[in-house]
Every structure is written in structure tokens, then in C-alpha cells.
Amino acid sequence: MKKVELRYLSQEDILSLDIGWEDIIQRVEMALSEQAKGTIENPPKRGVHTRPDTFIHEMPVFLKGMDACGIKWVSGYPENYKHDLPQILGVQIMNSTETGVPLAVMDCRWITAVRTAAATAVTVKHCAKKDARSIAIIGAGVQGRMHLMAIKHVLPSLETCHIFDIKEKMLDDYAAQMPDKCHVNVNKFTTVSEAVDGVDIIVTCTQKLHEPIIPAGALKPGMLGAGLEAGRAWPADIIHGSDKVITDDLTQTSSYASTGAFAGGLPEFYCQLGDLVNGKPGRENDRETILAFNVGIAAEDISLGQYVYEKAVEQNVGIILPLMEMDF
Ligand SMILES: NC(=O)c1ccc[n+]([C@@H]2O[C@H](COP(=O)([O-])OP(=O)(O)OC[C@H]3O[C@@H](n4cnc5c(N)ncnc54)[C@H](O)[C@@H]3O)[C@@H](O)[C@H]2O)c1
């Protein structure tokens, strides 16, 4: 029997490939498109919960169109900053669709960070006003930073970011570092209400919340809102009063309603994000209020993971590890 080897890719190996937003967003669009067409096998996330408000999720998928297959095993621990560790981290495995053989084990932290922001950037492309100039970002962590970069990439008219975080140091670091990275003016705020006042786009990227933090009535005509905590950051009047509510995955998002993720219950969804990628109109006028709850789908991770794997093979990056040498 042939020996079997796999490629191990650390976060730093992946960073060394220098994959840019254009490619990241394209891989996410490919995944969303397949998902909306139904050409994927993508069972809903399952998980274990070792402490209150934590998760470790399994996320397997087969994308038939791009012939990519794999699984992500990702954890979310909001108190990890106390251990000097990120809230979100884990690994993903890429498998051969021909033989099932594992081809690579790779860090999933970078992939998760960028594909999540890329999904919001795709939402912005289809649902923000074309001349949107300002954004409020609530939560100045990994997603808060990635979102400003990805959204500026698809929305060059973006000039100003209002940032709010409950941790002063996160606010200060964000305001010090992001203007140079994104060429956007960053203004710090000490309350959510002030931060969201008068902007074109609001993104919440905090942690599992027990109460909404966005004030009632904050989503005014023409605005786009997006929440990474399913619906937990948003009040019932906005969830149920917006002209269009979209999600990247109807099944997965609906399953969160039973855990109280949407104030006032599950809203009626206009469509999935992939439908917009496939041609359904998003924003149709400058007065619509649109809200997006993208909960993250494995198709995005594995689509980007396949691209990472191909680049790593091309550039001979990573460590080759033996899985089996011979029959026993
Ligand atoms: N939908 C998806 O696909 C997806 C993917 C990755 C992460 N997420 C979610 O995005 C969120 C952010 O993830 P991250 O990796 O950026 O985490 P992070 O820990 O790096 O950042 C979270 C930030 O939010 C701040 N925060 C917490 N509560 C707040 C509040 N009430 N108001 C303002 N700021 C608050 C924290 O101080 C921290 O700076 C998490 O809820 C995570 O589960 C979603």
C-alpha cells in the first residue's frame, strides 16, 4: 500500500502566502453561489459546549462545483482574553474528493477571520448604498478589524468609521492602527447610541450577548445593518421592521431562533446571500432598510481552504507529515 502524507499549515504558513482581499472575496462568493444553488452537501453545525456561552463546532462540507471537501473544527471562548488567547480558533482538514484521504491540516483562525469579513463585504456590495461613506463598528476585536479592511476593499467611497468597544484598550489600539491600514478616518465613541448615529452601515461583532445592544430605531432609511452574533445584538423593532432581512444560511440561522437569538422570534428572510451573488436584486432603492445575519458556513471555509492548499502546494509551504507508512 502507498504511504500517505499530509501537509500541515500553521497560521504563519498561511499568512506567508499573502492572499489578498480580491481572492478571498471571490472564493467566498464561489461558496455562497454554490450554497444557494444547492450544489453542496452541508449539514448544519453541531457542537459541544464545555463552559457557559462557549462552543466547539464541527463544520463539514462537500462543494460539488469546485470539487472541494473538508471539515472545520472551531471554538469560540469569549473569556479567552484572560488567558491571552483569541476568542475564535481551531483547525480544518481538507480531504481528497477522490479517495477521502486527508490532504492537509491547517489553521482555521485566519480563514475564519477573513471569510467572515468577506461575507459581510459581499453583503455590502449588494445591499449598501452605492455612495455609502460611513460605518459604525461595534466590537473592536479580530472581526472589527477585518471588517473595516474587507468593506473598504469593496466600498472605496468609505471615509469614516465610528468604533465602539466595552474595552478601552481595544478602542485605543483600533483607533491607532486602523486608519493607516485602511485609509479610513476612525473616531472613537463611548456609547453604542452615539457610535451608530448618522452612519450608512452598522456592523456588530462582539460576543454572545444576552440583550440587544443596538438602540431601537437606529436603522434609519437607506441604512444597512449586519450582526455576527446571529440576531442577538439587534432589537425586535429593527429585526421585524426592516424592509429586507437576509442571511447566508436559512437553515442554520433558523436553528438559532430556538436559543433566543432573535428578539421577537425569527424574522421573515428575503433571501440567502448566495441568491444575491447569483443575480437576485439586493438594494433596490436608497430608502430601504436592510439587515443581514450571516452566521458563517463551512462552504466558505473549505472554498478558501482549497485555495490556500493549492497555493501552499505551488509554493512548497508547510510541513509534510506522515499519516501511514505501510499496511499493518
Ligand atoms: N458569523 C460568523 O461567521 C462569525 C465568524 C467568526 C466570529 N463570529 C462572531 O463574531 C464575534 C466577534 O468575534 P472576534 O473574533 O472578533 O472576537 P474578539 O474577541 O476578537 O472581539 C470581540 C470584541 O467585542 C468586544 N465586546 C464584547 N461585548 C461587547 C459589547 N457589549 N459592546 C461592544 N463591544 C463588545 C470585546 O471587548 C472584543 O474587543 C463573536 O461573537 C464571534 O462568535 C461570527
Ligand 1 proximity of 294 Cβ (cutoff 6 Å): yes
Please, what's the b/e burial string for 209-220 (b: 16 or more CB within 10 A of its CB; e: otherwise)? beebbbeeebbe
Nearest atom in ligand 1 to the alpha carbon of residue 80 is 19
Identify the CATH number of the domain in which residue 283 sits. 3.40.50.720
**Is the Cβ atom of 142 under 6 angstroms away from ligand 1?**
yes
Q: How far is the CA of 225 from the centre of ligand 1 (A)?
A: 16
Do residues 204 and 304 both lie within one domain? no
Is residue 257's pLDDT more than 90? no
Any domain includes 274? yes
Segment 259-297, tens digit of pLDDT: 889 999 999 999 999 999 999 999 999 999 999 999 999
Q: Is residue 145 part of a domain?
A: yes
What would the grid cell of residue 83 be? 488567558
**Quick check: is 283 in a domain?**
yes
Reply yes or no on whether the pLDDT at 71 is more than 90. Answer: yes
Shared domain check, 161 and 149: yes
Over the stretch 28-48, which tens digit does the pLDDT of each residue have?
999 999 999 999 998 888 999
Full domain range(s) for residue 146: 126-297
Same domain, 254 and 154: yes
**Confidence band for 253, pLDDT divided at 50, 70 and 90:** very high
Query: What sign does the CA torsion over 177, 179, 143, 192 have?
Result: positive
Residue with more model confidence, 258 or 29: 29
Are 215 and 192 a contacting pair, CB within 8 Å?
A: yes
- Tell me the mean pLDDT in the region 292-306: 97
Quick one: which atom of ligand 1 is closest to the CA of 233?
A: 31
Q: Are residues 76 and 170 in the same domain?
A: no
What pLDDT, in 10s, does the model give residues 213-239? 999 999 999 999 999 999 999 999 999
Q: What is the pLDDT of residues 1-31, one digit of tens each?
A: 999 999 999 999 999 999 999 999 999 999 9
- Alpha-carbon distance of 295 to 293, in angstroms, equals 6
Tell me: do 178 and 262 sit in the same domain: yes
C-alpha to C-alpha distance for 269 and 183, rounded to whole angstroms = 34
Residue 240 belongs to some domain of the structure: yes
List the grid coordinates of 280. Answer: 437576485
Same domain flag for 103 and 229 = no
Asked whether residue 162 falls in the same domain as residue 291, the answer is: yes
Nearest atom (ligand 1) to Cα of 230? 1
Arithmetic mean of pLDDT, 45-66:
96
Question: Looking at the domain assignment, is residue 121 inside a domain?
Answer: no
Residue 256 has pLDDT above 90, yes or no: no
Q: How far is the CA of 11 from the centre of ligand 1 (A)?
A: 20
Spatial contact of 202 and 163, defined as CB atoms under 8 Å apart: no
Check whether residue 316 and residue 242 sit in a common domain: no
Residue 120 lies in a domain: no
Give, using CA atoms, the residue closest to atom 15 of ligand 1. Answer: 142
Q: How far is the CA of 273 from the centre of ligand 1 (A)?
A: 21
Q: pLDDT at position 18, please? A: 98
For residue 114, the surrounding DSSP H or E stretch is helix 109-127
| Whole-angstrom distance, CA of residue 218 vs CA of residue 221 | 10
Residue 258 has pLDDT above 90, yes or no: no
Instruction: Give me the residue label for grid cell 447566508.
Output: 248
| 282/309 same-domain check | no
If you ran DSSP here, which 8-state letter would residue 229 be given?
Answer: B
Distance, in Å, from the CA atom of 279 to the CA atom of 196, rounded to the nearest integer, reads 30
pLDDT digit string, tens, across residues 171-213: 999 999 999 999 999 999 999 999 999 999 999 999 889 999 9
Per-residue pLDDT of 85-116, as tens digits, reads 999 999 999 999 999 999 999 999 999 999 99
Q: What is the pTM (predicted TM-score) of this model?
A: 0.96
Residue 325 backbone dihedrals phi, psi, to 5 degrees: -95, -35
> What pLDDT score does 27 carry?
98
Backbone angles phi, psi at 40, to 5 degrees: -135, 155
Q: Which of 172, 228, 273 should be mutated for ligand 1, with most atoms under 8 A from CB? A: 228
CATH of the domain at 96: 3.30.1780.10
Task: Please check whether residue 117 lies inside any domain of the structure.
Answer: no
Residue 287, ligand 1, Cβ within 6 A: no
Decide if 219 contacts 265 (C-beta within 8 A): no
How far is the C-alpha of 31 from the C-alpha of 65, rounded, in Å? 9
146's CB contacts (< 8 A; 6+ apart) are 113, 114, 116, 117
Residue 47 host element (H or E): strand 46-48
Q: For 124-172, what is each residue's pLDDT tens digit?
A: 999 999 999 999 999 999 999 999 999 999 999 999 999 999 999 999 9
Which of 206, 291, 295, 300 to mutate for ligand 1's pocket (most ligand atoms within 8 Å of CB)?
Answer: 206
Q: Are 210 and 230 in contact (CB under 8 A)?
A: no
Q: Is 272 in the pocket of ligand 1 (CB under 6 A)?
A: no
* Pair (222, 187) in one structural domain: yes
Mean pLDDT for the stretch of residues 57-80: 97
In a domain? residue 223: yes
pLDDT at 44 (0 to 100): 82
- How far apart CA 155 and CA 160 sit, in angstroms, is 12
Does residue 68 share a domain with residue 131? no
**Cβ(9) to ligand 1 under 6 A?**
no
Q: Is 296 in the pocket of ligand 1 (CB under 6 A)?
A: yes
Same domain? For 92 and 64 the reply is: yes
Structural domain count, the chain: 2
Of 169, 220, 167, give the one whose Cα is nearest residue 193: 220
**Which among 84, 205, 256, 291 is the best mutation to test ligand 1's pocket, defined by most ligand atoms within 8 Å of the CB?**
205
